[in-house]
Amino acid sequence: MAIAENSRALRPSSGEPLLSVQGVSVRFGGIVALDGVTFDVFPGQIAGLIGPNGAGKTTLFNCLSRLYQPSSGDIKFEGRSILRSKRHDIPVIGLGRTFQNVALFDKMTVLDNVKVGCHSQTGASFFENAFRLPSVRAEERRIADRAVELIAFMDLKPFTYLPAGPLPFPIRKRVELARALAASPKLLLLDEPAAGLNHDEIEVLKEQIRRVRDLQHVTVLLVEH
């Protein structure tokens, strides 16, 4: 497994990485899935982890999103270890993720699917929701506005009110990316984003990822073969 990068001059003057993976190993019984993986990702980079099937790329992503606990090593985000963070806290601290298999709510509209991604940005209490206080309605408007903004950003406006299920696969992948951006991540983890796409669709994806970095100011770490 190797790391490649497309960098911009966006590193802070201190040179501190946004993400630092330090000697991470993962073992499942006698199977070594990761062995001492170490690398840094700096703000403004589009970095890629490249390796064959079985190299441990998705296993590493599962460690970054706290689905797996490393057997050894540390993972730091903005200088702080995330290994004691709960899974549900990961979007809150600024890590977003897409998966190899697109998992949308097929019967929900594209708009509602993207709004789901804003869940980590909500702050209304049970009491406020139960009584539909003005703060709740204001929050719902803010979430809807953010979803509409991202739908336009990802060139999905014609599909806004259509159910996600019947949409073509490349469009579904775009919806998933918009949903991941809805949480306003600082670092976006893309797990084989080009899988299942043809050459022309991959070229569109590459431009979209650059726009995510340049216009949404999101650092990107992706895995591919």
pLDDT in tens, 101-133: 899 999 999 999 999 998 877 766 656 666 577
> What is the per-residue pLDDT for 224?
86
> At the fourth CATH level, which superfamily is domain 1-94+185-225?
P-loop containing nucleotide triphosphate hydrolases (3.40.50.300)
Q: Is the pLDDT of residue 9 over 50?
A: no
Which pTM value belongs to this model?
A: 0.88
Whether the CA torsion 105, 122, 181, 222 is positive or negative: it is negative
Q: Is residue 10's pLDDT more than 90?
A: no
- Per-residue pLDDT at 8: 54
Q: What average pLDDT does this structure show over 141-148?
A: 94
Q: For residue 115, what pLDDT is reported?
A: 96
| Percentage with pLDDT > 90 across the chain | 76
pLDDT tens per residue, range 70-111: 999 999 999 999 999 999 999 999 999 999 889 999 999 999
Q: Between residues 48 and 54, which one has the greater pLDDT?
A: 48
Q: Distance between CA atoms of 208 and 123, rounded to whole angstroms?
A: 30
| Domain extents in the chain | 1-94+185-225, 103-183
Q: Please report which confidence band the pLDDT of residue 140 belongs to, taking 50, 70 and 90 as the band edges.
A: confident
Amino acid at 65: S
Alpha-carbon gap, residue 96 to 91, rounded angstroms: 6
Q: What is the mean pLDDT of the chain?
A: 91
| Higher pLDDT, residue 133 or 154 | 154
**Antiparallel, parallel or unpaired: β 2-6 and 80-81:** unpaired
| Contact criterion met (CB below 8 Å) for 107 and 79 | no
Asked whether the beta carbons of 170 and 197 are under 8 A apart, the reply is yes
> Which residue has 């330090």 as its token pair?
22
For a pLDDT cut of 70, what percent of the chain falls above it?
Answer: 88
